[in-house]
Each structure stands twice: as structure tokens, then as C-alpha cells.
Chains A and B, each alone.
Chain A
């Protein structure tokens, strides 16, 4: 077990890294020899930095003054009625600068990179949220930044590409393999193999070779540490459960880290079952097998022959065929349980949280919301539950519009037709039955009018 001691503001969190960062039988450093010295350097430097008050104070000051921490713990007012009861507290990571929890990790890692004398940052991104957060941290510190992004995702998430470029980052589309997140990570690893002398790779989740899973958890545990203190302050006791969505698993590990030692707090991770377990999905816990991938030993979606499978989720942030090794460990030991939520259920939960609480969650987050009825059913209507609202939904509006609500599209199209018709009518009334009306109504009308004239 890798449970870190509790921390308060003046107490440094985190235990010593285990041998090779193993979480039970998971973890490790499965990378090419060229990268091993850099990974060892990180593994030595990280605990020193995290035990150094100068470093931690600077990290916390930036989280406070720039990121906007602490984030609120909002008690849901109308959501409980819709999910079978409970007192539900929403940890508002959506209110961070850049709109998600990702920035907590990026600030810490870029700060560490500076301390190591690295002069260039690389990162991978799927939906673009980690890319935007890394680009933001690099702009803040004045570091050059290159973000690898699958070519598929570049076209699906064009707005985030614009954001990254606006922030001064170079975005390199990756066309190899399936041209999605896993291939972006492959490309970033290849860059790092060649640039390791001056470059730090900011991995975006609790995955990859040791010390990344441990380091990213510690940089995200501010979520759980705050939530734990907030709930104790608010209701004078610990929650019955903590719930978070899991792709690689960083927002969940950040929340769980503070509660792992509290045996009475049940931990629920929520993974994406996509179109269903018989179809395309990203359900690593339900369908994965132990494997070695992206530098770690963990559960992996793979063929019988050890080739990686493509994951699918409507939420690009959960669309990953692996999972952080500490989650695999929490799963294997039974300390945390993992539920599955489909694309369709996540879309419905997006709408539910929007309408009951006035909060539009990211599609990733919506998976955690959608799991609440099952959690409340099990724990009872008196249960106190903290759910991590890992990010806001602005980035997903296009997906929501095309999937959730075709009625919105119809509404927009009707409005557009109405606007044009009104304009045509207005022009006709004003006596210029000209081009505008004719173009809208087509050539036949033009011909008719000519004949009639």
C-alpha cells in the first residue's frame, strides 16, 4: 500500500517512493535504456523537491494566486432528488484556471523542470485539456513548449489547438498508429528519447514510468486534501464515499489520495464503457489484462497477442487503453471499486447536472455524476458523497450538440430559416424583391417571377 500520511498546509505529504515505484505488482520503469537515466534523475529529484519548503511554497502560492485555489466544495441542492438522495458535495475543479484539474500537475512539473535546469517542455494531449494546461504553465514560466496530439484529435478538438497556439505552444499532429492519445504519448516518448538532455516530459496523468504515477498523484492530491478539510469543516465528519471518473486516473487519484487511509470512506472510480462492453469502450478495469505499456505495468486493453487495442469513449479524456498503476493496485486490493458508465449515460448526466445545479460538467466528469444513483442505492439515502467535478464542459459543447440534443440543431436550423425568410419578406415589403429572396428560395422562384413579370 502506498498510502501517504495526511497532510495539512504545513505538513509535507507523500511517503518515500517504493522500490521502482511499484504499487503492489503494478508500476515500474519499463522504458528504453536511453531514458532510464532521466527517469532515475526524476525519481531522485522529485522527493527532494517535494520535501523542500521553497519548492512547495512556490507551488502552493501559484495554485492560490494564479490557478485560483482552493476550489469550493459546493453542496448540491437539487441533484440528490434526481439520484435517489444523499448529501452530495461537488469538488469544483471546474473552477480552476483553464477549466480542469490538469493545471495542478502542470504547474508542479514545470516548476520541477526549471529546478532540474531543463529548458524545454514537451507534453501529449488527447482532448487538449492537458495540452492547454501545459501550454499555460509554460507561458507562465516562459518556457518553450511542444505538444503532441493525435491527428484525429487535432480535427475533433480544433478549438483547443487554437488555445495552445495562442499560448505560444507548438502543436505537432501525430499521424502514426491510431492517431489518438496513445500515439501522441508514443510520439512524445520518441521526442524525449532524442531530447532528454535539455527537455522535461510533462506526463498528464498518474501513468508512465516511475516516478510519474507517484509524482502526479502528489501534485493532484491538493484536490483530496482540500476536500477532506472542507467536508470536516462543513459537516464535522468524513464522507461515506468519494467518486471520480478515471481515464489515466489523475483527478481520481488526487481525490482518493487523501481518503485512502480512511477505511470508512468508500472509493469509487468510474470508467467509460463507451458504446457498451460488447462494442467499443475504454473499460480497462472491466476488460483489461495485465500488460506493459507506456513505461508501466498495469491493466491494459490488448489482444490475446499483446497488441494494444484502441479505446473509445465519447469523452476524449477517458479514451485511453491503459490506467494508472496505483488504480490497478487499489482495484486488485479492493480498496477502491470501479464502475462503468456508457456514452449515453454520460450525456444524460451532463444535462442532469446542468439543469439541477447550473453546472455544465466536462463529459469526463459526467461519468462520475452518472454513477451517483448506483452509489446512493448502495450506501443509502443518508449517505454523504463527495464527487469530483474534474472539469467544465465548454470544450464539449459541439459533441453535446451533435449527440445529446439533435433538437438543438433543429432549433438552430429553424431559427436560421426563419431569419432569412423574415429578411426576404422585409425586403419584398420594402420593394426590392432582389437577389437575397431569390437566392434563399432558389432558381425556380426567380424563373417564375420572370415569367409572371
Chain B
């Protein structure tokens, strides 16, 4: 059984073999509280996620829209810590085989100590890191220790990214590359049929052999369907967090419906 970046790679290979895009789901650890978030994450995994992005809360999430900001605020209020989030990851790993990507901001992760973070992440059974405010120029501080432990490093490419920067992001990425669908924060409105978006994804695919995963603003099964043919995976975040506020059952239903959108025609 694979672990770390290999587990991520295998998940995308399986989805590709089934002629569908991988469904990547984001949820914030400790939202609304520790056990509540576990119930929701379990429901989402059972609903059919291929990859879990586990949000580690930060007090000042500047790349996130109102939904995920509020989720992180709730999580911190209910006692979220990084070591608590790693313990969550370990519990998820005991029940599910899907890759777990830790999503966060630079400060809590660096503050924890890069070596310690990488070791404990690997021990918990999480597989990759995605740090939104750590561009390739500054990434080595975490990427180096993470790679040494076999963890993946998910770089982000935005619509504003120049070709020179794109090359730098791709060179530092492993597991998959995150294509930000829109110029804005998470949860902003998206037109998933925008030809410019599709063209950007095609360019990115031409530039890398890594799986390309598109996210920001994807909410419904139709959105996933519109993007499934243009990327190796599709991320749904804010919409899952909102469904989670209606309870684990509602969240599980949404994931099932999104999973239906991943099949390519």
C-alpha cells in the first residue's frame, strides 16, 4: 500500500483508469468542533471523495472567501491546533485509504517547526502539503523537509501567473498541481464553461506531466461535469463547508452528487 506522494499519484491514476476526474474535497478540521468535523469528513469520504484536503485553521486566511474564513474562525474557537489537526488526519487514515492533503498558511506550519511538521504529518498518514501563501521563492523551508519524508508538495498556478513563474511552480510541485480557476478568493463565483479557463488548463497540461486539479468557485455537479474533461481533478471547498453546516447527511449527499459529475463523456 502506497503512502505520501505515491498515494496521491495512485489516486489520480485510478480515477483516470475509470475515465473520470478525481473529486477533491476541502473541509476544515475542527469545524464546527473536533468530533463534528470528523463526522462530516467521514460522511464526505463515504460519499465518494478521491482526495481530501484537510484545512488546518489560521487566524488570518487572506486567500479565502467568507465561507472558509468563517469555518476557520469556528474551528479556532472550538480549540483547533495543528497537532489536533494531525490527530484528526490519523483518525481519518485509520478508516479511509484516500490521500490526505494538509491545506494551510505558512505561519502555523513554519511555527510548528518544518522537521517536526513533516515527521508528524507522515506519521499521521497524511500525504502532501498545500500552503497558499508560500510561493516557490519561499517554499523550500517546508518543501525540503516534506520531500525528505516522501510527502507531496502542491504548487498553485493562478490566472495571473506568467509563463516564467509557471515553470518555477511546476518545478517545485509533486503529487498534483493546483490550477486556481479565477482571479479571486475561494468560493467566488465561477463560470466553469469559460473558454479562457479551459485554454489555461490546456496550457498547463501541456507544461507538466503532473495531474492538474482545478478549484475555486466549483459548487455543483454541473460545474464538475463542465470541468471534468479539462483537468485530472476538480476541487470543491466552500460548497462542502456550507453543506457541512447542514449536517453530515447533507454533506454526504452533496459529495455523491458531485461524484456523479466526474465521469467524462
Contacts and interface: CB of A to CB of B under 8 A. Distances in A.
Interface of A: 20, 28-38, 40, 176-177, 182-183, 186, 189-190, 193-194, 196-197, 289, 291-295, 300, 302, 304-308
B226 interface: no
Contacts of B165: 33, 36-37, 40
A307 B58 contact: yes
B112 interface: yes
Interface string B149-192: 00000011111111001000100000000001001110010000
Contact of A193 (B82, B157, B185): B185
Given A30-B106, A190-B62, A305-B81, A20 B111 contact: no
B60 interface: yes
Nearest to A32: B63
What 6 A-B pairs have minimum CB-CB distances, sorted nearest first? A306-B111, A306-B108, A194-B184, A34-B158, A292-B106, A307-B59
Nearest to B111: A306
Nearest to A35: B160
Interface of B: 57-66, 69-70, 73, 76, 81-82, 105-112, 132-135, 137-138, 155-162, 165, 169, 180, 183-185, 188
A201 B201 CA distance: 29
Given A305-B111, A307-B108, A33 B135 contact: yes
Q: Which of B112, B180, B184 is the most central at the interface, judged by chain A CB atoms within 10 Å of its CB?
A: B184
B66 A176 contact: yes
Contacts of B110: 291-292, 306
A194 B180 CA distance: 12
B161 A33 contact: yes
A36 B158 CA distance: 9
Given A32-B63, A293-B60, A193 B183 contact: yes
Contacts of A295: 133
Given A31-B133, A33-B180, A36-B161, A186 B112 contact: no
Contacts of A177: 59-60, 69, 73
Given A33-B132, A196-B183, A305-B82, 10 more contacts: A31-B135, A36-B161, A37-B162, A176-B73, A177-B73, A182-B60, A190-B62, A289-B111, A304-B111, A308-B107
24 contacts: A30-B133, A32-B133, A32-B135, A33-B135, A33-B157, A33-B160, A33-B165, A33-B169, A33-B180, A34-B159, A40-B165, A176-B73, A183-B60, A196-B183, A197-B160, A292-B107, A292-B133, A294-B62, A305-B112, A306-B58, A306-B108, A306-B110, A307-B59, A307-B76
B32 to A, nearest CB: 17
A34 B107 contact: no
B140 to A, nearest CB: 12
Q: Per DSSP, are chain A's interface residues mostly helix, strand or loop, or mixed?
A: mixed
Given A32-B156, A37-B161, A194-B184, A291 B62 contact: no
B186 to A, nearest CB: 10
Given A29-B137, A36-B161, A300 B107 contact: yes
A304 B84 CA distance: 14
A176 B160 CA distance: 27
B68 to A, nearest CB: 11
B135 A29 contact: yes
A28 B107 CA distance: 14
Contacts of B183: 34, 193-194, 196-197
Contacts of B135: 29-33, 36
Q: Per DSSP, are chain B's interface residues mostly helix, strand or loop, or mixed?
A: loop
Nearest to B134: A30
B66 to A, nearest CB: 7
A20 B158 contact: no
A297 to B, nearest CB: 8
Contact of A306 (B64, B109, B155): B109
A193 B184 contact: yes
A300 B69 CA distance: 21
A293 B73 CA distance: 17
B158 A33 contact: yes
Contacts of A294: 60, 62
A346 B169 CA distance: 48
A302 B133 contact: no
Contacts of A20: 137-138
Nearest to A308: B59
A182 B61 CA distance: 11
Contacts of A34: 63, 158-160, 180, 183-184
Q: Which of B61, B107, B183 is the most central at the interface, judged by chain A CB atoms within 10 Å of its CB?
A: B107
A189 to B, nearest CB: 4
A291 B158 contact: no
Nearest to A39: B135
Contacts of B64: 190
B55 to A, nearest CB: 14
Contacts of A40: 165
A144 to B, nearest CB: 19
Nearest to B178: A33
A190 B138 contact: no
B59 A32 contact: no
A149 B169 CA distance: 34
Contact of A302 (B76, B106, B107, B159): B107
A190 B58 contact: no
A183 B59 CA distance: 10
Contacts of B109: 306
A176 B58 CA distance: 13
Nearest to A293: B107
A32 to B, nearest CB: 4
B176 to A, nearest CB: 15
A177 B76 CA distance: 11
A29 B62 contact: no
A37 B59 contact: no
